[in-house]
Structure 1
Amino acid sequence: MEKFVNHIQLGYLGLLPFLACVAWPLITGSSAVNIAFFTFYSIAILAFMAGNLWRAGQQSYADAIKAVLPVIPIAFISFLPPTWILAWLAGSFWLVLLLEKSTPQWQSYHVDYQKMRFVLTSAVFVCHILVIGMSVYPD
């Protein structure tokens, strides 16, 4: 368990900016800057999470492709309306979790880490839904 404590703490700390991006507009009113910050932070965290699936030299070619699959389309979807980008990102966090659960390493992870991954993915998904709502109904 000890080797997962830092990962669990850092995971929950990484949720704070998502929560702040949801709370801030509720206090000050929604803005394009807030939605943009949330989107950029979400992309960065998604890329980080997908990058953790990358196990150079330890996985098949197909598994390596799966590891980057959620991130590659971001360059193309960045031209879409913000609500579509946020919806893609929300779904991609679930995809990364499903891909992580399909790895052989998942079974060796402590149950608290596995629970944390589900809780964080759920919370991040809800944050995305709320920010989509804020972008659709800004006032």
Structure 2
Amino acid sequence: MEKFVNHIQLGYLGLIPFLGCVGWPLMFGSNSLNLEFFTFYSIAILAFMAGSLWRAGEQSYSNAIKAILPVIPVPFLSFLPVEWALAWLGASFWLVLIFEKATPQWQTYHKDYQKMRVVLTSVVFVCHILTIGMSIYPE
């Protein structure tokens, strides 16, 4: 358990900006800056999570595809309506989790870490859905 305590704490702390971006418009009214911050933070965290799939010493073609697939469309998301971009980003967090669960290392991770990853992905996905809703119906 102690091996993953820092990972779990950092994981949950990483939710604060997502939750803040969902809560801010509910308390203070929506603005485009909040939506932009949420989108860019989502891109950064997704890239980090996808990059962690390609571990040192395990560089194979399939690992590279798994690490790159969720983030390849990111530059093109700016040409789409924000709701579509957020939908891709939200779904990509699930894709990264599915890829991670398919790795042999997943079975070696502590149960608390595995649970945390599922909870984080679920909360981040719901935050994306709520942000999409708030961008469609701002008031």
TM-score by length of 2: 0.97
What stretches of structure 1 move > 3 A for 4+ residues in a row? Answer: none
Which residue of structure 1 aligns with residue 42 of structure 2? 42
Identity %: 76
Which residue of structure 2 aligns with residue 77 of structure 1? 77
Which residue type is aligned with residue 39 of structure 1? Answer: T
Paired with 1:136 and 1:45, the residues of 2 have a C-alpha distance of: 24
Which residue of structure 2 aligns with residue 122 of structure 1? 122
Paired with 2:82 and 2:40, the residues of 1 have a C-alpha distance of: 11
Q: Does the alignment pair 1:88 with 2:72?
A: no
Q: How many residues are aligned here?
A: 139
Q: Does the alignment pair 1:18 with 2:14?
A: no
Contact 1:55 1:64 in 2 (8 A): no
Coordinate RMSD, CA, aligned: 0.9
TM-score by length of 1: 0.97
Paired with 2:93 and 2:23, the residues of 1 have a C-alpha distance of: 21
Paired with 2:30 and 2:87, the residues of 1 have a C-alpha distance of: 18
Paired with 2:124 and 2:90, the residues of 1 have a C-alpha distance of: 7
**5-14 or 29-38, larger mean C-alpha shift:** 29-38
Paired with 1:37 and 1:58, the residues of 2 have a C-alpha distance of: 33
3-state SS of 1:121 partner: helix
